């Protein structure tokens, strides 16, 4: 905290005056006890003064003033000049030690460099520890100093001085920190809430009761053993009144106790020696301050925690409501199912997707109740439902399930994803997501059926066309030259090419339906071998067709766990495209590489071809989509759709991108081989 230049001289002056008054008050008590001060408010005032002016430009003036006031105060009240100097030095040591200790253990507090106030019992204990350290340190200095100048070491004097200094710093210092931090806060945020009538009455009542009780106990010489009740009053104040009231209470009660005791009345008046009496009453004051503050700060800490908890709860409630609103408005069904298959949470979409059904005890076991089947219509085995598989530790992603019950007699296909959700108590639930894919699947199935039927049905007539074309060509052999003969040959050649294109299309359609429907039989497939075979065949056919021979660079291809037939089809399509889609006259260069991570092998096929037109990188994986219709590149637009299907059926991904060196880059992933993977390069 930096203190303003203009306000610090004013503060210096004010504190110096208060300090002088405190020294005077303290020394006045020395009159009744052979020159020994019985209370020492100046200790508390001094530390608060230096806390307030900690970084002020006037702090050197503060030090001089403190030393002068303290020295003069002692000297003028019958102390020798040498002892007065020792007292002045000890006073400076005291404030220095206090500031140092506070800075070290509670740097966030006002006066220690921060702006904070006492907030918890921990702050109080830190302040208490700093106070004790300060006072012990000061009294060592003071004792040694006095010893040097007076050649005597008054231990009893020191114990008394210790008690009065601790009481003073604890009571006045705590109040000073509280007021200093409060003023800081008040400047930033002055308005305060008003107290209710009953609360005001309670504060006034308890405060008055305690003050009256203490006056009653200390002011009169009635001989009644009332001291037991006094701490009870402090407990009442500490538990019911706020910290500022407790601080005020400490000061008032200390003043009452010290004043009356020194004048010979109250519970401690029977102690004959006035010095001992002073020590006991100081200890009483320290106890009152500690008990009151510990209770009040404990409550403050609790209140702060409760407020923080309440704010957190409100925040959590808001988030929960938002989340519930989002989940409830989802078209996808989301349910949490426990280990007994009980649905503990579901959004409205779940009921809707399950045909509006809700089993009496909300248990999702009932294939019979909910009508849950495999997509082929067969019944699930006992532990085969997605949530049970997830609870058994499997990560179930995108499994199709058929729901057919009176609510959805025509059947609905749901894609189910289930993940286990472990609980702190060791049990777990499954979070299940249902996505309606009925329309998608129907469309796909219709297309597949159509493609399959058409392909098969066209093969026969096509075979006839090819057969008859070949027969016609044969019968033209040996026909004598005729002007129409060349034309007939040319027409039949066109017919042959058209039939070949049609066969290509039919083969594509059949491959497409196979890729969709055929059961995947995963086995260990050595990618390096497959790629070597395919690239060799591509090179041979390019040479045979009189085209530039493609150059292949193949690196680090591991084994994969996949269906060998489908993998060959996949690689053949991609390598075929990489060679096919190059500009005329350019030697195709294709680089094939792979890396393995997280149990998946990612293969990259990079070419130096004509590239994929802007914005079509995803579309080319659709059925019959052709991005290059001009330029004489023949094709059906089915190859990449087949590739995508093959990769997806193995749980992988496929994508296309532009290669920075020109050309395209196709990337696909397949599961890595389960046993003994090895890398090989060709």
Query: Residues interacting with ligand ADP, by CB under 6 A?
Result: 573, 577-578, 581, 607, 609-612, 620, 625-628, 635-641, 664
Cβ(561)–Cβ(674) below 8 Å = yes
Least distance (Å) between residue 521 CB and ligand ADP: 24
Residue 538: which residues within 8 A CB-CB, separation 6 or more? 550, 575, 576, 579
Is the Cβ of residue 169 or residue 610 nearer to ligand ADP in the bound state?
610
Least distance (Å) between residue 591 CB and ligand ADP: 12
**Secondary structure of residue 585 in the 3-state scheme:** coil
Is the Cβ of residue 73 or residue 611 nearer to ligand ADP in the bound state?
611
Is the Cβ of residue 227 or residue 541 nearer to ligand ADP in the bound state?
541
Compute CA distances 285 → 171, 432, 434, whole Å. 8, 66, 71
| CA-wise closest residue to 131 among 89, 172, 73 | 172
Is the Cβ of residue 577 or residue 669 nearer to ligand ADP in the bound state?
577
| CA-wise closest residue to 576 among 519, 524, 508 | 508
**Pairing mode of beta strands 559-562, 396-405:** unpaired
Query: How far is Cα 224 from Cα 264, in angstroms, rounded to an integer?
Result: 15
Is the Cβ of residue 399 or residue 619 nearer to ligand ADP in the bound state?
619
DSSP state of 672: B
Least distance (Å) between residue 536 CB and ligand ADP: 19
Is the Cβ of residue 54 or residue 580 nearer to ligand ADP in the bound state?
580
Least distance (Å) between residue 389 CB and ligand ADP: 35
Least distance (Å) between residue 582 CB and ligand ADP: 8
| Structure tokens that stand for 546 in this block | 């009189």
Is the Cβ of residue 313 or residue 501 nearer to ligand ADP in the bound state?
501
Is the Cβ of residue 274 or residue 458 nearer to ligand ADP in the bound state?
458
Residue 671: which residues within 8 A CB-CB, separation 6 or more? 522, 560, 561, 562, 599, 600, 601, 650, 651, 652
Least distance (Å) between residue 522 CB and ligand ADP: 24
Query: How far is Cα 215 from Cα 156, in angstroms, rounded to an integer?
Result: 29
Least distance (Å) between residue 620 CB and ligand ADP: 4
Least distance (Å) between residue 461 CB and ligand ADP: 22
Is the Cβ of residue 452 or residue 637 nearer to ligand ADP in the bound state?
637
| Structure tokens that stand for 554 in this block | 């193949």
Least distance (Å) between residue 453 CB and ligand ADP: 21
Q: What angle do CA 54, 57, 61 make, to 5 degrees?
A: 85
Is the Cβ of residue 59 or residue 625 nearer to ligand ADP in the bound state?
625
Compute CA distances 364 → 107, 378, 395, whole Å. 59, 18, 19
Return the HEC string of 241-256. CCHHHHHHHHHHHHHH
Least distance (Å) between residue 637 CB and ligand ADP: 5
Query: How far is Cα 244 from Cα 248, in angstroms, rounded to an integer?
Result: 6
Is the Cβ of residue 162 or residue 638 nearer to ligand ADP in the bound state?
638
Least distance (Å) between residue 633 CB and ligand ADP: 7
Least distance (Å) between residue 329 CB and ligand ADP: 38
Compute CA distances 66 → 50, 72, 282, whole Å. 10, 10, 24
| CA-wise closest residue to 88 among 64, 71, 74, 69 | 71
Is the Cβ of residue 74 or residue 577 nearer to ligand ADP in the bound state?
577
Cβ(177)–Cβ(171) below 8 Å = no
Long-range contacts of 154-162 (CB under 8 A, 24+ apart): 156/275, 157/36, 159/279, 160/36, 160/38, 160/275, 160/278, 160/279, 160/282, 161/37, 161/40, 162/135, 162/136
């Amino acid at each position: 905290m930096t203190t303003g230049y203009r306000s610090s001289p004013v503060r210096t002056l004010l504190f110096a005056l208060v300090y002088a008054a405190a020294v005077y008050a303290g020394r006045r008590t020395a009159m009744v006890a052979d020159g020994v001060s019985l209370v020492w408010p100046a200790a508390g005032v001094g530390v608060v003064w230096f806390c307030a002016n900690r970084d002020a430009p006037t702090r050197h003036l503060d030090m001089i003033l403190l030393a002068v006031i303290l020295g003069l105060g002692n000297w003028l009240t019958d102390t020798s000049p040498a002892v007065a100097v020792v007292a002045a030095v000890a006073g400076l040591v005291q404030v220095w030690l206090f500031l140092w200790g506070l800075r070290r253990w509670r740097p966030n507090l006002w006066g220690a460099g921060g702006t904070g106030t006492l907030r918890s019992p921990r702050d109080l204990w830190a302040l208490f520890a700093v106070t004790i350290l300060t006072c012990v340190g000061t009294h060592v200095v003071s004792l040694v100093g006095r010893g040097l100048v007076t050649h005597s070491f008054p231990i009893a004097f020191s114990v008394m001085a210790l008690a009065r200094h601790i009481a003073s710093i604890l009571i006045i210092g705590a109040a000073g920190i509280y007021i200093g931090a409060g003023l800081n806060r008040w400047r930033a945020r002055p308005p305060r809430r008003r107290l209710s009538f009953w609360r005001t009455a309670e504060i006034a009542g308890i405060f008055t009761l305690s003050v009256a009780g203490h006056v009653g106990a200390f002011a009169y010489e009635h001989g009644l053993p009332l001291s037991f009740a006094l701490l009870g009053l402090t407990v009442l104040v500490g538990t019911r009144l706020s910290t500022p009231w407790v601080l005020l209470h400490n000061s008032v009660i200390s003043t009452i106790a010290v004043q009356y005791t020194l004048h010979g009345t109250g519970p401690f008046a029977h102690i004959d020696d006035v010095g001992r009496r002073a020590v006991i009453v100081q200890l009483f004051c320290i106890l009152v301050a500690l008990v009151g503050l510990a209770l009040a700060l404990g409550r403050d800490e609790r209140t702060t925690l409760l407020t923080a908890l309440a704010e957190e709860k409100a925040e959590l409630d808001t988030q929960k409501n938002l989340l519930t609103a989002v989940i409830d408005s989802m078209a996808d069904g989301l349910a949490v199912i426990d280990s007994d298959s009980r649905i503990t949470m579901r959004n409205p979409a779940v009921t809707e997707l399950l045909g509006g059904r809700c089993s009496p005890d909300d248990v999702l076991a009932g294939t019979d109740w909910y009508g849950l089947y495999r997509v082929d219509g067969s019944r699930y085995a006992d532990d085969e439902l997605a949530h049970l598989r997830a609870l058994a530790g499997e990560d179930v992603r995108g499994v199709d399930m058929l729901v057919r019950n009176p609510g959805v007699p025509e059947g609905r296909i749901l894609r189910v994803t289930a993940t286990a959700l472990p609980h702190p108590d060791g049990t777990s639930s499954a979070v299940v997501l249902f996505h309606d894919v009925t329309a998608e699947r129907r469309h796909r199935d219709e297309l597949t059926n159509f493609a399959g039927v058409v392909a098969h049905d066209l093969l026969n007539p096509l075979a006839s066309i090819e057969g008859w074309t070949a027969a016609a060509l044969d019968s033209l052999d040996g026909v004598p030259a005729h002007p129409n003969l060349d034309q007939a040959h040319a027409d039949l050649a066109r017919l042959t090419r058209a039939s070949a294109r049609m066969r290509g299309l039919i083969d594509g359609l059949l491959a497409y339906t196979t890729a969709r429907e055929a059961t995947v039989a995963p086995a260990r497939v050595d990618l390096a071998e497959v790629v070597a075979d395919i690239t060799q065949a591509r090179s041979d056919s390019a040479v045979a067709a009189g085209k530039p021979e493609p150059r292949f660079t193949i690196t680090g291809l591991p084994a994969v766990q996949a269906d060998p037939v489908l993998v060959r089809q996949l690689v053949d399509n991609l390598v075929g495209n990489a060679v096919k889609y190059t500009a005329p006259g350019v030697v195709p260069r294709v680089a094939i590489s792979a890396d393995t991570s997280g149990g998946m092998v990612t293969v990259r096929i990079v070419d130096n071809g004509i590239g994929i037109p802007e914005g079509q990188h995803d579309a080319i994986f659709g059925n019959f989509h052709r991005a290059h219709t001009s330029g004489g590149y023949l094709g059906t637009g089915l190859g990449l759709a087949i590739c995508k299907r093959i990769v997806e059926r193995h749980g992988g991904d496929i994508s296309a991108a532009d290669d920075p060196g020109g050309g395209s880059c196709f990337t696909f992933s397949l599961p890595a081989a389960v046993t003994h993977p090895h890398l090989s390069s060709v």
